[in-house]
Structure 1
């Protein structure tokens, strides 16, 4: 699946504008209520996965009828969240990129778990991005091209205790060979000065968050 993308729609906050990003050759996975969202928007997911404890029996029937494949699991006897089940299946397809939406919501524990999940893709050299109307999040251990996407701010947050050698190009507040430690806010609320910027680091794991109010 070189060059291909897998899109995961989970059961958190999903904006209708997000579906405009779906390409004809994307593999689309719906996790639990995310599958219902896709079906209700007239999109046939290639795979619907989860315990489906957040949908009614009638809604589950609708998902079954309008999905290419459905993988259901027991809501009690499972160790993974629905989103991680979907992410595992996405990784198995070895795409160039995985994009997840509906993975940011009111449950902070689930949100943080989904952000941490991005590391597993990075370890397999598969880029993972999280996106919705207010946020676009990626993770890097080396260099990352940041594209203007209509968000106001770009914030840098360490995912490891320390990130070193941070150098920014194309940002309002440049950095040269800087370091960030967990708990510091130095990297919060920067801005791009043009259509693109580059983030480079020497060591560690760095979350790059484009956001707007």
Structure 2
């Protein structure tokens, strides 16, 4: 099993725990990106704790990784044109306390068996999943989660590059639900499983065969 990189700047809440290590994660300091062999990774999770100007300067590294069949799961509130395949993040005008989620589809097991209410609420408070949305995702993308205005919050794109891009509109789905005592605690592990399934599919050469509903 290859590692999955959890990339961010070196601040306390971006680092990973012993439990994360056991799940196959490693922390990738964003400023080490030019000196890291990405080809040995099953995927890269781009957190919301990043230096966008640095990623803009080194965008070609991420693009090269994707064109070689890499898997990126971007969770950033993206506001600069690095990885132009991902639209810029927009803040939702719906108040967080009123915003609803709709799980439109699963993909490689992502969100399988997860209740939307468990994503919407933490300890009785609503609005932790995402503050925003994407406009104009590519036409070939598969939308996974929307809000009540049918704005895209999470999607997967297998057509823009030779790899796969999962993108969530500014939500740390991996970390935020880890210790919840409901179905939301599945999300982090299912994220890693979906990345690994996708990496195996691509490396196996079945670039147009995937389990859309598993």
Instruction: Report the TM range for the smaller structure's normalisation.
Output: 0.3 to 0.5
Q: Please tell me whether Structure 1 or Structure 2 has the larger radius of gyration of its CA atoms.
A: 1
Greater RCO, 1 or 2 (C-alpha within 8 Å, sep 6+): 2
After TM superposition, the score normalised by the length of structure 1 is 0.39
Structure 1 or 2: larger strand share? 1
